[in-house]
Amino acid sequence: MTSLLQVRDLSIAFGRKDPVVRGLDLDLAAGQRLGIIGESGSGKTVTALAIMGLLPDNARVTGSIRLDGTELVGLSDRALSRVRGDRMSMIFQEPMTALDPTMTAGRQVAEAFRLHRDRDAGRARTAVLAMLRAVGFDDAERVADSYPHQLSGGQRQRVVTAMALVNRPGLVICDEPTTALDVTVQATVLRVLDEVLEAVGASCLFISHDLAVVSQLCSDVVVMLNGRVVERGTAEQVFTDPRHPYAAGLVATARLDLLEPGTRLPTVADHVRVP
Ligand SMILES: Nc1ncnc2c1ncn2[C@@H]1O[C@H](COP(=O)(O)OP(=O)(O)OP(=O)(O)O)[C@@H](O)[C@H]1O
């Protein structure tokens, strides 16, 4: 398997404290979706932030993170910011962390697009509207002209999804993107995410503590505990035959009997077109 993302022996520590992630290895092929599951504090988010190069200055990162052959550990901030948004992007739990309350949704998607691609405003607007339609907005023009506070939580998360995917990155990292939303809205946002990832052909690292969500979206799973991977395999393997007692406990309480592992979500639209 040629890896799009290859993480080797990654350790992360803050200041002089003990490492919070230790000896982590991950591989993600082009188009593959890997769920990272684990309890609060197990190191999921710091792993994602290390890949994105977004850890605070007091973080000590050792090991190797290669994206499409480029080593990211030790890369300058300038070089990293070019990789971010263009070749990889991240969707956070709380959409307002990614959105500027003073800018319309359309302008924010356009900024994400223009920063990395096209400086022509007309072409950017066309791409923005197409992207907003791709994340399920029939009324893309109205949404583009709305400010974040005029949109619901689910709509904001779809705008953030549009921003994350507008440059067709190879890798999208999602950190609990639907945890803050209520259940019916969660389902819509996940369906949209599933479709847009598919349309763009992007790989995904999907962080969650919800196994049911991961089983619907991801082909493969790793389980983290205290900064280490304690279990890895296909979603089906991990959900039907977990080896580690902690993974077994997660599976036992997840009511996965209500789902077929690996079953794809029903689609929203027949065709999703991404600019
Ligand atoms: N900036 C920081 N400075 C010091 N310690 C930190 C910092 N950020 C995270 N940590 C610590 O790193 C550990 C891993 O945190 P992380 O946020 O990655 O966990 P998580 O698995 O994502 O949990 P959650 O599901 O609650 O988001 C925790 O012990 C946390 O306190």
**250-271 confidence digits (pLDDT tens):** 887 775 555 544 444 433 333 4
Ligand 1 site residues (CB inside 6 A) read 14, 20, 38, 40-46, 56, 209
Domain-embedded: residue 9: yes
Q: Per DSSP, what are the bridge partners of residue 88?
A: 84, 171
Residues 6 or more apart whose CB falls under 8 angstroms from that of 91 comprise: 98, 157, 160, 161, 164, 172, 173, 174, 175, 177, 193
Is the pLDDT at 223 greater than 60, yes or no? yes
User: Alpha-carbon distance 33 to 216, whole Å?
Assistant: 11
Predicted confidence at residue 255, as pLDDT, reads: 58
Q: What is the pTM of this model?
A: 0.89
Which of the 8 DSSP states describes residue 19? Answer: P
Q: State in Å: Cα 247 to ligand 1 middle.
A: 20
Alpha helices in the chain (DSSP H): 44-52, 77-83, 105-116, 121-134, 140-144, 153-165, 183-200, 211-217, 235-240, 245-253
Reported ipTM: 0.95
Domain of residue 61 covers: 3-241
The phi-psi region of residue 178 (left if phi > 0; otherwise alpha if psi is between -120 and 50; otherwise beta) is alpha
Domain-embedded: residue 265: no
Domain-embedded: residue 271: no
Q: State in Å: Cα 55 to ligand 1 middle.
A: 11
Is the pLDDT at 60 greater than 90, yes or no? yes
Domain-embedded: residue 252: no
Q: Which of 191, 243, 241 is nearest to 216 (CA)?
A: 191
Q: At 44, which CATH number?
A: 3.40.50.300
Going by CA atoms, what residue is nearest to atom 31 of ligand 1? 41
Percentage above 70 pLDDT, the chain: 90
- Rg of the chain over all Cα atoms, to the nearest angstrom: 18
Going by CA atoms, what residue is nearest to atom 9 of ligand 1? 46
pLDDT tens-digit readout, 118-158: 667 777 889 899 999 999 999 999 999 999 999 999 999 99
Q: How many domains is the chain built from?
A: 1
Domain-embedded: residue 104: yes
Pocket test for ligand 1, best of 16, 21, 46 (most atoms within 8 A of CB): 46
Instruction: Give backbone dihedrals phi and psi of 168, rounded to 5 degrees, phi first.
Output: 50, 60
Longest dimension (CA), the chain: 56
pLDDT tens-digit readout, 65-119: 999 999 999 999 889 988 987 899 999 988 888 899 999 999 999 988 876 666 6
Predicted confidence at residue 266, as pLDDT, reads: 38
